[in-house]
A and B are shown apart, each in its own frame.
Chain A
């Protein structure tokens, strides 16, 4: 690195900061990487940044997916309302920054042994619960053990499967001991199931009290209706600009939108893509459209006829017009898929793999190879999977007609879809939340012995690479491994991947953010309450 190049980087950074398109955290990281000391970088930030976040105000949010049956047990978190809440009043060991990098929350620092079998997290000594008690290693142990062991009912149990032991080192740090190497353990910690809650005297987790160490303290709450928070003055992080935060559970997309238009709320999660263009014309409203690692998948059971024939799988992968799907179903708010479950929003994305195009003629050729011209298959879907899920399936069926394939779209009831259709019907539509790294995603749903190996795909080479990549701390080598795995899944795997839907949400124009938004969840990775502020 030459001095001039660093200077150019710094100039660009300063300009980005002035335009408010970069967060302070990413600014600091980049500036330090360019060779500036931390204190100099802080000075640079304050002089460059035009508008410093202002404090104050009551921030009202229309949040979707709020249910009467929501609750506080992190192991049973499922709805978006719960996830939005937990990021507001609880905190995690690590978090996904606005620019998509990994940062510390309760942990200030973390490191692994060279074999990636032991990870040590150093806790922030300034962190306190709303009750005033310090956050200690005991609390971390209790919170993590809540998801482990025979008796655990937590949905995050499988995430921590490889953790054999967690040790309190007595110096304000904890060590995770793993049965198998895992270079990505710190990336698992921001999973919404894993907040740190206070420990009871007997070492169990006290999730019932609703106490947490997050930026805001929960003062009033009625699940399925509304929640009110006030700022936690002793919060260990930076941000939490609002004095008070109010969540309203609004499940109807039209009601959320109207509330935003009339100014009854300041921000609103999950807007309907259909109305985006119309909403964008309102000068009082800003729409955030963030590409993400969420994914729509269409897994075929590769051990069931006719999907056991790779020519059939290829034919189906070739007979979907992804561009038209993105244009008509998501109204452009999606990133195109390429039949391997690795989004451009994840690290190590192999961008040189060629994009698969709609090619009915080639699909026909594959069907001839398989001896299955005039293929007829059933495809299950349901309205609740994603906006326009059923429409997407119908459009796909229309595309496939050109290749002589008849797809019978079956609309299943929303209710019970995950227990009766997913993993049961040989070909169905699935939605996956954003996972932070390709390793987490592949381990969950593509590893041969994974409980959710939704396509029953068992490719020995893919699985060998997956295990190797877990233990590999060299980035370049890892990237090459993920490239090879992507190619295998794309050309042999059982999953059609049409697109990665964007996160689309809105706010009134007087609500500001740094210009970069986390791709982990809706609403800046659901850290909007601590990262956004009112301007004027």
Chain B
């Protein structure tokens, strides 16, 4: 019965598409039909159901993304961010946000949560204006999907205590209890609610990763741009200094740092920033190095412009693309480094939920096909993919290509 309905739906779908001369949907649906036939023969009904579910999930994701994109466009056209304009640029908002996040890490999450929430709201609303509405229309569905996922994670992280059904460290049931209506994702090795821990993990892991990656970028990019512009001994010195740090393996370096200064959150952030800053430095230096030798920079120099002007107005705008691409990747490397640190017993202090440590705690179960460790791993993967989708779109936009 299922099989008949399934194929009927596919065929009707592709015929409708063909009738209305819609090439892409037709090709997609018809390919799906053909693939389903092969799979149905090889894998039987189970495989077909898998394909149906997969297609359904993809379609749902696409619809949600489309809806979210339209929502953003509507907001933008209504000029939702207008009241925030007037002097406050994106950059200062970012700086305040970073400072607040840093502070909330050091002084515990209290009233600062509200501040972080406000800042996030500003960040989302501020760029929404009729001009960006046009930009948003060009955004592919994948970018909209990425923005939607990031938005959801932000909500999860900020309102974790209200969303999570039980406490971060609260033991409520048997170890590895299966999922039911009370435990959305089952329980972990101590009988804590997996869903609640994932929600709290969004706050802890993502917060830590954002702060650490931003610090690394600010440090590294600034040094790289300065080195490229100034050149000479300063360039040489910074280059060799970066070499020194980079030539010490990151795991060993953090092991040494954290053993000496104690496994505190701010030590982790500083250690991660020091480890990743040289990588950003090298890339910035290479990209900016190519820009610096361009003729228009020569011209600006001859005009007698200062270093800071050169960096801000000439070099930075022309080297953002690779930097933005790098940000998306470094962001998820930081997750992994923190997971590696907890491998050495140096990561975030338990019972604080952290996705990396959650994967590690139950990693051996994967050898028996148990999916417990896959849940936090999927949470990391989803965020990484989402961030990189958005990054891809921005990259595409900043490259100035207007095709498609």
A residues in contact (CB < 8 Å) with B? 253-254, 257-258, 261, 272, 274-275, 278-279, 327-328, 331, 382-384, 388, 390-391, 394-395, 397-398, 409-416
A-B residue pairs in contact (CB < 8 Å), sample of 20: A254-B364, A257-B367, A275-B365, A278-B365, A327-B175, A383-B345, A391-B350, A391-B361, A394-B169, A394-B190, A394-B350, A394-B351, A397-B169, A411-B263, A411-B350, A412-B345, A413-B263, A413-B344, A415-B259, A416-B259
Residues in B neighbouring A409, C-beta threshold 8 A: 349-351
Q: Which of A257, A390, A411 makes the CB contact (< 8 A) with B364?
A: A257
Residues in A neighbouring B346, C-beta threshold 8 A: 413
Closest to A254 in B: B364
Instruction: Give residues of chain B (335-390) contacting chain A, Cβ–Cβ below 8 Å.
Output: 344-346, 349-351, 361-365, 367-368, 370
Given A382-B345, A411-B263, A398 and B364 contact (CB-CB distance below 8 Å): no
B51 at the interface (CB under 8 A from A): no
6 other A-B residue contacts (CB within 8 Å) besides A391-B189, A411-B350: A274-B362, A275-B368, A278-B365, A397-B351, A409-B350, A411-B349
Q: How far is the CA of A347 from the CA of B274 in the complex (A)?
A: 56
Per CB-CB distance, the 10 closest pairs between chain A and chain B, nearest first, are: A414-B345, A278-B368, A383-B345, A254-B364, A394-B351, A328-B175, A398-B171, A390-B350, A413-B259, A411-B349
Q: How far is the CA of A328 from the CA of B363 in the complex (A)?
A: 17
Interchain nearest-CB distance for B322 vs A (Å): 37
Residues in B neighbouring A257, C-beta threshold 8 A: 364, 367
Interchain nearest-CB distance for A393 vs B (Å): 8
Given A328-B175, A409-B350, A253 and B364 contact (CB-CB distance below 8 Å): yes
> Are the CB atoms of B190 and A328 closer together than 8 Å?
yes
Residues in A neighbouring B183, C-beta threshold 8 A: none
> Are the CB atoms of B351 and A414 closer together than 8 Å?
no
B219 at the interface (CB under 8 A from A): no
Interchain nearest-CB distance for B27 vs A (Å): 43
Q: How far is the CA of A409 from the CA of B170 in the complex (A)?
A: 14
Given A278-B368, A328-B175, A384-B345, A391 and B190 contact (CB-CB distance below 8 Å): yes
Residues in B neighbouring A397, C-beta threshold 8 A: 169, 351
Residues in B neighbouring A415, C-beta threshold 8 A: 255, 259, 344-345
Q: How far is the CA of A428 from the CA of B222 in the complex (A)?
A: 45
> Are the CB atoms of B171 and A258 closer together than 8 Å?
no
> Are the CB atoms of B258 and A275 closer together than 8 Å?
no
Closest to A389 in B: B345
B40 at the interface (CB under 8 A from A): no
Closest to B349 in A: A411
Residues in B neighbouring A254, C-beta threshold 8 A: 363-364, 367
B165 at the interface (CB under 8 A from A): no
Q: How far is the CA of A261 from the CA of B367 in the complex (A)?
A: 10
Given A253-B364, A328-B190, A394-B190, A410 and B349 contact (CB-CB distance below 8 Å): yes
Q: How far is the CA of A512 from the CA of B367 in the complex (A)?
A: 26
Residues in A neighbouring B351, C-beta threshold 8 A: 394, 397, 409
Q: How far is the CA of A327 from the CA of B174 in the complex (A)?
A: 9
B191 at the interface (CB under 8 A from A): yes
Interchain nearest-CB distance for A383 vs B (Å): 4
Q: How far is the CA of A390 from the CA of B354 in the complex (A)?
A: 14
B residues in contact (CB < 8 Å) with A? 169-171, 175, 189-191, 255, 258-259, 263, 344-346, 349-351, 361-365, 367-368, 370
Interface centre among B255, B259, B364 (most CB of A within 10 A): B364
Residues in B neighbouring A258, C-beta threshold 8 A: 367
Closest to A261 in B: B367
Q: How far is the CA of A383 from the CA of B263 in the complex (A)?
A: 14
Interchain nearest-CB distance for B199 vs A (Å): 18
> Are the CB atoms of B189 and A274 closer together than 8 Å?
yes
Q: Which of A278, A328, A331, A398 makes the CB contact (< 8 A) with B169?
A: A398
Interchain nearest-CB distance for A499 vs B (Å): 16
> Are the CB atoms of B191 and A272 closer together than 8 Å?
no
Interface centre among B190, B191, B259, B362 (most CB of A within 10 A): B190
Residues in A neighbouring B350, C-beta threshold 8 A: 390-391, 394, 409, 411
Closest to A277 in B: B368
Residues in B neighbouring A261, C-beta threshold 8 A: 367
Residues in B neighbouring A412, C-beta threshold 8 A: 345
Interchain nearest-CB distance for A90 vs B (Å): 33
> Are the CB atoms of A275 and B190 closer together than 8 Å?
no
Residues in A neighbouring B263, C-beta threshold 8 A: 411, 413
Q: Which of B171, B255, B364 makes the CB contact (< 8 A) with A275?
A: B364
> Are the CB atoms of B364 and A274 closer together than 8 Å?
yes
Interchain nearest-CB distance for B262 vs A (Å): 8
Interchain nearest-CB distance for B45 vs A (Å): 28
Residues in B neighbouring A384, C-beta threshold 8 A: 345
Interchain nearest-CB distance for A327 vs B (Å): 8
Interchain nearest-CB distance for A187 vs B (Å): 35
Q: How far is the CA of A261 from the CA of B191 in the complex (A)?
A: 28
Interchain nearest-CB distance for B273 vs A (Å): 20
Q: How far is the CA of A416 from the CA of B344 in the complex (A)?
A: 12
> Are the CB atoms of A275 and B259 closer together than 8 Å?
no
Closest to A385 in B: B345
Q: How far is the CA of A384 from the CA of B364 in the complex (A)?
A: 17
Interchain nearest-CB distance for A11 vs B (Å): 43
Interchain nearest-CB distance for B340 vs A (Å): 13
> Are the CB atoms of B189 and A328 closer together than 8 Å?
yes
Q: How far is the CA of A203 from the CA of B391 in the complex (A)?
A: 73
Q: How far is the CA of A258 from the CA of B368 in the complex (A)?
A: 10
Interchain nearest-CB distance for A124 vs B (Å): 44
Closest to A409 in B: B350
> Are the CB atoms of B367 and A414 closer together than 8 Å?
no
Given A328-B175, A382-B345, A413 and B364 contact (CB-CB distance below 8 Å): no
Interchain nearest-CB distance for A504 vs B (Å): 14
Interchain nearest-CB distance for B331 vs A (Å): 25
Interchain nearest-CB distance for A498 vs B (Å): 15
> Are the CB atoms of A395 and B363 closer together than 8 Å?
no
> Are the CB atoms of B258 and A413 closer together than 8 Å?
yes
Interface centre among A253, A388, A391 (most CB of B within 10 A): A391
Residues in A neighbouring B361, C-beta threshold 8 A: 391
Q: How far is the CA of A494 from the CA of B170 in the complex (A)?
A: 28
Interchain nearest-CB distance for B58 vs A (Å): 33
> Are the CB atoms of A411 and B345 closer together than 8 Å?
yes
Interchain nearest-CB distance for A325 vs B (Å): 10
Interchain nearest-CB distance for A274 vs B (Å): 6
Residues in A neighbouring B345, C-beta threshold 8 A: 382-384, 411-415
Q: How far is the CA of A257 from the CA of B367 in the complex (A)?
A: 9
Residues in B neighbouring A253, C-beta threshold 8 A: 364
Residues in A neighbouring B349, C-beta threshold 8 A: 409-411
Interchain nearest-CB distance for B314 vs A (Å): 47
Residues in B neighbouring A274, C-beta threshold 8 A: 189, 362, 364-365
